[in-house]
Amino acid sequence: MELLPQYLANGLVTGSFYALSALGLTLILGLMRVVNFAHGELYMLGGVMGWWATSRLGLDFFSGLLLVAVAMGAFGWLVDRLLIERIRDQGEEPGILLTIGLSIFLANTALLAVGTAPLKVEAPLSSGPLIMGPVVLTKLRLFAVAVCAVLIALAWVVIHKTRLGRAMRATFQDPMAAQLAGVRTANVYAATFAMGTVIASLAGMLLGSIYSAQVSVGGLVSMKAFVVVILGGMGSFAGAIVGGVLLGVVEALWGGYVATGWVDIIGFGLVILTLLVRPYGLFSTRAERA
């Protein structure tokens, strides 16, 4: 039991990354009703672009973060306007097929461009240990957690306190009424997909500075993000955060006390238990349950 604080700390750190990466999927899946199987590849592109910006262009970490946000936001906007808009309101199946094709295209394009070798994003801090009583973490991990918290807070402000956020919520509650009120719903959909893309890509760059950016990581990231969204409830901002932290803590405890080789299937066990008790997630709205 003396290792419990360390396991909990590790789980909270990992869970913050899960929450950030799943937040982008929550916006796209829960609000736009687009089952985005390319989410992991958007995360991967953020890590690859972060490596390119810091290692090839020589930018510092924060300048690289800004460059990734702008570039991936523009990319997400174009993906919605050029691809997703063509199949909007045609049900979920066309969106599934479209995003699966997009994920294959992005993964193979990145593979041809940078290869399979791990790519290290230049970190702004050293990875030296930081001892806090019974818990040992690195300065870089705590920095990344702080950046995750800031990005999550900014996303909340945009969704709940800005004109764009009001237009987003109005569009997803009743698109026809929003159009009658003067909201340009096509721009709202594009902005939402762009925002989800930016959040996913920034999570990829942050994790790339701690571990490494790899072209093959997209499938695993998508799996984790879908698990978090299902746990928390589709479209729930709080659900994405709580679901991510819950998954991170449970994985850390399982890996510490049981076996590390089975960690990746824990998410599916949590999903099954959650669906038995709360079929629409821990933080599902009344409309979702209806």
Between helix 39-51 and helix 92-114 the angle, nearest 10°, is 30
pLDDT reported for residue 286: 53
* CB distance 11 to 251 below 8 Å: yes
Mean pLDDT by 10 residues, the chain (290 residues): 85 90 85 86 95 92 95 96 89 88 95 91 80 83 89 91 89 86 89 94 92 89 89 82 90 83 80 83 61
pLDDT reported for residue 290: 47
* Helix count and strand count (H, E) for the chain: 12, 2
Q: Are strands 129-132 and 135-138 parallel, antiparallel or unpaired?
A: antiparallel
pLDDT reported for residue 193: 94
Quote the CA–CA distance of 68 and 52 in Å, as a whole number. 10
Burial of 176: CB neighbours in 10 Å, binned 0-12, 13-18, 19+? exposed
| HEC string for 106-127 | HHHHHHHHHCCCCECCCCCCCC
pLDDT reported for residue 274: 83
The type of residue at 166 is R
Quote the CA–CA distance of 183 and 31 in Å, as a whole number. 16
Quote the CA–CA distance of 152 and 175 in Å, as a whole number. 26
The type of residue at 55 is S
Quote the CA–CA distance of 174 and 1 in Å, as a whole number. 51
Cα 11 to its chain centre, rounded Å, is 17
State pTM to two decimals: 0.90
pLDDT reported for residue 78: 96
Structural domains in the chain plus CATH codes: 4-289 (1.10.3470)
pLDDT reported for residue 284: 67
Closest CA to 123 of 15, 211, 25, 218: 211
| Cross-strand partners of 107 | none
The type of residue at 120 is K
pLDDT reported for residue 99: 94
pLDDT reported for residue 199: 94
